[in-house]
Amino acid sequence: MGTRDLVGIIADTHDNRRAIAQAVALFNKKGVGRVFHAGDFCAPFTAMDFSQLTCEMMMVFGNNDGERIGLYHSFSKLGTIGVGPKKDEYHGKRFILMHEPTCLNELSAGNQADVIIYGHTHDVDIREGETVIINPGEAGGWLRGRSTVALLDLATMDVAIEEID
């Protein structure tokens, strides 16, 4: 299993199976203890690629995830999936996971989480502070031409953006 104090963060994969495979390989190589997916998988068949992960996932649906029943059945074997925002606690840290950045400032100002993860914009966004806010950018690479994921070290709360494609 992975290193409990390192988590992988991914969003907006949009059916890019090659990018997903590269992200999974990176997460496995780094030994992450959990992967957070902030939505927009698109099709249930991408669960085949994520099934190679050596850790559990926590996932929320995005606005392009229309086939939610199929996604739920395909991805529930890999971890927890549902409508966001979702709260989670992992390795002593409080997480909020969502797709769209609804109420982002209010949630961070309210000290409701140590880490807030979102997607949707396809742009990397890292905000350090009492609450760390992370958008890993788009893993799919379709809009910005750059496929990225994030690694969060829970011991230091350092965030690293990694190109996967």
| pTM for this prediction | 0.96
Return the CA Rg of the chain. Answer: 14
3-state secondary structure of 138: coil
Query: What's the structural domain count of the chain?
Result: 1
**What tokens were used for 50?**
């994520």
The residue segments making up the domain with residue 79 are 3-163
Contact (CB, 8 A) for 118 and 98: yes
Give the pairing of strands 3-10 and 148-153: antiparallel
- Give, for all 165 residues of the chain, the pLDDT tens digit: 446 799 999 999 999 999 999 999 999 999 999 999 999 999 999 999 999 999 999 999 999 999 999 999 999 999 999 999 999 999 999 999 999 998 898 888 888 899 999 999 999 999 999 999 999 999 999 999 999 999 999 999 999 999 997
Alpha helix segments (H runs only) across the chain: 17-30, 47-50, 68-75, 104-109
Instruction: Residue 110: give its domain's CATH number.
Output: 3.60.21.10
Q: What is the pLDDT of residue 1?
A: 43
